A and B are shown apart, each in its own frame.
Chain A
Amino acid sequence: MNNILELNGVSKTFAKFALKDVSFALPEGFIMGFIGRNGAGKTTTIKLILNMLKKDSGIIRVFGKDHAQSEQEIKQRIGVVMDQPFYVEEWTPADLEKALLPFYAQWDPAKYSAQLEEFELDRQKKIKAFSRGMKLKLMIAAALSHQADLLILDEPTSGLDAVARNELMEILQTFISDENKGILFSTHVTSDLEKIADYITFIQDGRIVYSDIKDNLLEKYSLVKGPLGILSPAQKKLIIGYQERSVGFEGLLDRADLREMPASILAEPGNLDEIVLRFNLGKRTHE
């Protein structure tokens, strides 16, 4: 299986923030959710992939090619949807096409028209009159029209209601029905979009906490709860994001550590929300 995107030991240091030794790989044909809090390093990582920021060290490969050496070639095949859009609000979708056409050798006007129609976007209407969901769909329509093989979406769900998120999921799953494509999307809130992610990369304070198949992550950790006073200090230390309340404790536990715990402890399957929350509370990295 080929990796459509691959980062190996990527670092970048700023005055107040550093991205350290970031490594992950997205195989062709799959969707990766890139999760972490605001300021954890998601947008920085995406900008490094796109060579909008220069990395200090490490290797980044897109479609198996070095992202800087083959930048022009790679960008023809990437569709990017950033939090800050690249269009002018006064433009219409027709203006957007005129602006993008010279940049993309593979631009397909018929495909663009078909996508606008499918997404119910008025070609002559000013973009500023569009809702957040419509703007997102316009960006995706543009990406699909230049035959992108890799979609990179930075915080696509922010400001979207449940209906628009559902529509986005459908669009992404349709895109990935072609096994040669790939999707990386970032999000700071775990939303329903994670349901369709095959891989999860979890970043915290500029470091990768976890990057693997989502189902493995969900099987690795259990949510644990129990009454106060049953755990020894050593047992408490095993629990990630351990929290005591007047009515009991809760936290996250690596399932392998479950045998170290008293039998009366309640263990439930973990979910992404709780995993992110507990790691942030615990501020400790697990590999």
Chain B
Amino acid sequence: MLNIILTNTAGTPIYEQIKGQIKSAIFAGELQDGEQLPSIRQLAKDLKISVITTMRAYTDLEQEGFVVNIQGKGCFVQFQNPDLLREHKLREVEESLSAAISAARMAKLSETELLEMFKLLLKEDDFE
């Protein structure tokens, strides 16, 4: 499921907005590996923008290793660079942990208490 919401007020070029939102959808798992994206001309029509703008977004995404364009078949999500996705996920984990540390500081938890809590949660989750 892919949603793309364009704005004319952000000052960000349209092709950048499309790229950003497709990338976000990939990172969020809304678009799966191998999933087909709308055709360039279909997406241009749906968004009421030019074909060239859409082409540019798709070409950039291909160069960055998020999608692959297969002539005559269409554009598919493909993680040519799995590290990219893993890196993004690692950053998400770091951010969540940092947020937990800030909250612990506010609650005046000690390091030991925080670690205890963390271990307990891991256990409850059957994390391996």
Contact = CB atoms under 8 A, between A and B. Distances in A.
Q: Do A and B share a complex?
A: yes
Interface of A: 29-31, 169-170, 173-174, 176-177, 179, 195-199, 213-215, 218-219, 268-269
B41 interface: yes
Nearest to B47: A195
Nearest to A194: B50
B44 A173 contact: yes
A-B pairs, top 6 by smallest CB distance, nearest first, are A173-B45, A198-B52, A198-B50, A177-B41, A198-B51, A195-B48
Interface of A is mostly: mixed
Which of A213, A219, A268 has the largest number of chain B CB atoms within 10 A?
Answer: A213
Interface of B: 11, 13-15, 41-42, 44-45, 48-53, 56
Contacts, number: 47
Contacts of B51: 29-31, 176, 198
A170 B50 contact: no
A174 B51 CA distance: 12
Contact of B41 (A179, A219, A269): A179
Contact of B50 (A179, A214, A219, A268): A214
Nearest to B52: A198
Given A268-B11, A269-B11, A215 B52 contact: yes
Contacts of A170: 45
Nearest to A33: B50
B11 A215 contact: no
A138 B84 CA distance: 52
Given A196-B48, A215-B56, A269-B11, 17 more contacts: A30-B52, A31-B50, A31-B51, A169-B48, A176-B41, A176-B51, A195-B49, A195-B50, A196-B49, A196-B50, A198-B50, A198-B51, A198-B53, A199-B52, A214-B52, A215-B52, A218-B13
Contacts of B53: 198, 215
Given A215-B13, A215-B15, A219-B13, A174 B45 contact: yes
A113 B15 CA distance: 38
B56 to A, nearest CB: 7
Contacts of A215: 13-15, 50, 52-53, 56
Nearest to B44: A173
A124 B45 CA distance: 32
24 contacts: A30-B52, A31-B51, A169-B48, A173-B45, A173-B48, A174-B45, A176-B41, A176-B51, A177-B41, A177-B45, A195-B49, A198-B50, A198-B53, A213-B52, A214-B50, A214-B52, A215-B13, A215-B14, A215-B15, A215-B52, A215-B53, A218-B13, A269-B11, A269-B13
